[in-house]
Amino acid sequence: MQRLKTRPQFQAVLAGPIVAKTTHFALHRNGLDAKAVQTQPGKLADAPAPVLFSVRDMWIGAMVPKRWAKRAVTRNVIKRQIYTVSADFSAQYPQAAFVVRLRRDFSRTEFVSASSEPLKQAVRSEVQALMLAGAKAP
């Protein structure tokens, strides 16, 4: 399993369809053949851009905007849970690129601490449900 690191990689995956949704998360998917080699805008068409996905493997990225998780500690906890759970599901997923995107905030009245065990468990269970639904999607 590889991690998405660059902005063009994230943009290529986010341009793909949403394959699964839960209350707080969305799972975007993009096949590796479609966006593996592309040309940069403003350059000659015969000059290819760098390859976005150098290895044919499952690629995963976590997108946790400040809009939905104000504290950096909370964003890091959510990202860690996403990467941990996605590693468990890597055998069930095809060779493609995925982004797990937070699309709604976790209530600060329910989860008072920025990095509490109940928050970790809630994120983990929801990401597991998301990855399970994504594995069943065509």
When the pLDDT of each residue in the chain is averaged and rounded to a whole number, the result is 85
d(CA 1, CA 87): 7
pLDDT for 104 = 93
pLDDT in tens, 68-86: 999 999 999 999 999 999 9
pLDDT for 118 = 92
Q: Is the dihedral of CA 68, 72, 77, 80 positive or negative?
A: positive
d(CA 126, CA 1): 21
User: Could you give all domains of the chain from N- to C-terminal order, each with its CATH number?
Assistant: 2-39+46-136 (3.30.230.10)
Q: Choose between 124 and 39: higher pLDDT.
A: 124
